[in-house]
Amino acid sequence: MMNESSEPRFSWWLLLRICTFQIGSAMGDILVTSIWNRIMIVNFGFPALPVGLLIALRYLLSPLSLYAGFRSDTTPFLGMRRTSYIWLGRALMVISFPLLGFSVTLFNNSRNDSLGWALALLSFLLYGTGTLLSGSPFFALVRDAMPKARQGLALSVVETALILFFPIAAISFSLLLQDYSLVGFWELIAITALVGGFFWVFAIAGVEKRAILHKAVEHTQEKTRAQFQEFHGTLAKIWQDPRARAFMLFLAVATFSAWAQDAILEPFGAEVLNATIAQTTRYSSYWQGATALVLIIAAYVWRKRRPEQQTPIAKIGLAIMGLGMAWLALTSLTGIRWMVNPALLVFGVGFGFYTFSAFQLLVVMTSDKAAGAYLGLWTVTILLTRGVGIFMGGALRDGLYALTQSHALAYGIIFGLEGLGLFVSILLLARVNIIGFARDTGRISATDAQVITADL
């Protein structure tokens, strides 16, 4: 057994294999947030509020992710710390896909079928629970398998892969489903379950053996009461730190503002710009493709930049995102169809800068002794506020349309508010003492902290 201080060696092959995990993640998200929501709102004529609530459900259940991260730190499951939790969660997601298909089948026959809503609810409960059970352990596994100096890069690359696979999945699905048909929707479900399920297994099979060999951490079973006490103590310690609270607030506002459009972007294209289902499915590919390109460029240009130095890049990304949302609001108010793609591209460019830097800041704002708990807390913050944002986007769409009787004005107001929130998040980030946190947790020395602060 190797010494605990020994670190794993960095391997691009291993990291790229782990990245294939995101193929299934991207396919699942495109299916439920770009295609299913459009079918429900536009083709079936349902209000955006219940649709947005179901999409947001997995994010609203996000505290489960925090506990899953803690459990993967302290309690092995089926002989492994991370992998078993990940595969259990992804199995639940695979089961959820056909349930969603049965729900759409019932709605296709009758819009008033209550069993359709029950199956949709069960599908999203399984999908959300599976996502949350596997999310924090997955990121912790990536972190475990990489040397400390490359952990931020590894998480950024994994997130880049997810965003890169989004446009690939969106374009592929738009070619397979040019317009709504029940048979076509079932074909997408089968492809997502089979292809996504395969890569969820392939990507991380055997990775944990590498992590455990190099970490050489001995794990013992603890009594349930002791686990809860330790869990509560860890959370209390994190919450007592004002830097952690400030960082959480920043993440919440930025995430809410960035994702409130998620459930209504495709309906916006249909109801304001008269776009087809194939065209609106590609909306995700435009902004997420731009995001992926920026992430790749940023990873090369700033590959030697320390994670503690990422704050200015995050601020630039947030500002560009805000401009993209303002442009999208203007597109809605004017109804000029050609403006939508440039607006999405601008937003995607900003999202790329922000994502590259923010994921490295997540690593900085994490201690080695409680990596799963910290990453779980940041994951919960991101997922919960993303869910609230998606839900509020749908609720505002319905409420503003009822007040104004104008889809263009309703969507325009929502996009404008999102842009404002992104600019506010820049001010919130400036209040977070990231360098001080890294110094106090032993990530950097006091001398390094002074040098980095001077450079910033």
pLDDT greater at residue 113 or residue 373: 113
- Could you write out the DSSP letters of every residue in 356-416? HHHHHHHHHT--STTHHHHHHHHHHHHHHHHHHHHHHHHHHHHHHHHHHS-HHHHHHHHHH
Domain annotation covers residue 6 = no
Residue 215 lies in a domain: no
Residue 188 forms part of a structural domain: yes
Using CA atoms, how far residue 198 sits from 14, 96, 378, in Å, is 17, 16, 28
Whether 221 maps to a domain, the answer reads no
Q: Are 261 and 34 in contact (CB under 8 A)?
A: no
Residues written for the chain: 456
Reported as a pLDDT band with limits 50, 70 and 90, residue 368 is low
CA dist list (Å): 113 to 49, 109, 120, 181: 18, 8, 11, 19
Residue 5 scores a pLDDT above 60: no
Tokens representing 196 are 């996504």
pLDDT band at residue 211, thresholds of 50, 70 and 90? very low
Residues facing 68 on adjacent strands: none
Q: Both tokens of residue 214?
A: 């190099």
If DSSP codes are grouped into helix, strand and coil, which group holds residue 76? coil
Using alpha carbons only, how large is the chain's radius of gyration in Å? 22
Number of domains in the chain: 1
In a domain, 5, yes or no: no
Side-chain half-sphere of 453: how many Cα atoms within 13 Å?
Answer: 15
Q: In Å, how far from its chain's centre is CA 89?
A: 16
Centre a 10 Å sphere on the Cβ of residue 190 and count the other Cβ atoms it contains. 12
Read off the CATH number of the domain in which 328 is found.
Answer: 1.20.1250.20
pLDDT in tens, 176-196: 888 888 999 999 999 999 999
- Would you say residue 326 lies in a domain? yes
User: Does a structural domain hold residue 213?
Assistant: no
Establish if 224 belongs to a structural domain.
no
Average pLDDT for the chain:
84
The whole domain housing 190 covers 12-208+231-455
